[in-house]
Amino acid sequence: MRAVVQRTRGCSVRVDGRLTGATDQGLLVYLGVGRNDTDRDAQALRDKVLNLRIFPDEAGKMNLSVLDTRGGIMVVSQFTLYGDAREGRRPSYAQAADPQKARALYELALQLFTRSGLAVASGEFQAKMEVISTNVGPITILLDTEKRF
């Protein structure tokens, strides 16, 4: 699994003008599922995201996690995180999971984040979404459960 994690002041997602979710201060997690991913990847990614120390403590040092700050988490499916543009001009998505598998692991990840007790919101799987967020810092972290970066 891959994720782009951004520290936000707030985030909302709309599909066809309809609000599907919104969060206050916390994290925006764009989540991509690869063809070789399993339930273990969803658990590992959830644990990494929840414990990333990217929020400032009282001294202004990035020492706190979203669990420490009790922030919200917005999870948005993003198959394009598996786009490979090393050759040519159109990315290949051969490493992305098929939609059925991707949906199952995306929904599992949502359940796992919800079990954290934090406020969790989401986009809509396979929808064209409008994601509006205020990235604070800016702080943007790339994660890959296969540790490719």
What is the pLDDT at residue 14?
Answer: 98
Active site residues: 78-80
What is the rounded average pLDDT of the residues 50-58?
Answer: 98
The answer to whether the beta carbons of residues 140 and 6 sit under 8 Å apart is yes
Report whether pLDDT(149) > 90: no
Q: What is the DSSP string of 29-88?
A: EEEE-BTT--HHHHHHHHHHHHH---EE-TTS-EEE-HHHHT-EEEEEE-GGGG-B-SSS
pTM beyond 0.85: the answer is yes
What is the C-alpha to C-alpha distance for residues 6 and 9, in angstroms, rounded to an integer? 10
What is the pLDDT at residue 148?
Answer: 86
Residue 107 carries which side chain, given as an amino acid letter? E
The CATH code that applies to domain 2-144 is 3.50.80.10
Report whether pLDDT(112) > 90: yes
User: What is the residue extent of each domain of the chain?
Assistant: 2-144
Tens of pLDDT along 12-29? 999 999 999 999 999 999
Distances (CA, A) of 65 to 62, 122, 129, 140: 9, 20, 27, 14
Residue 51 carries which side chain, given as an amino acid letter? N
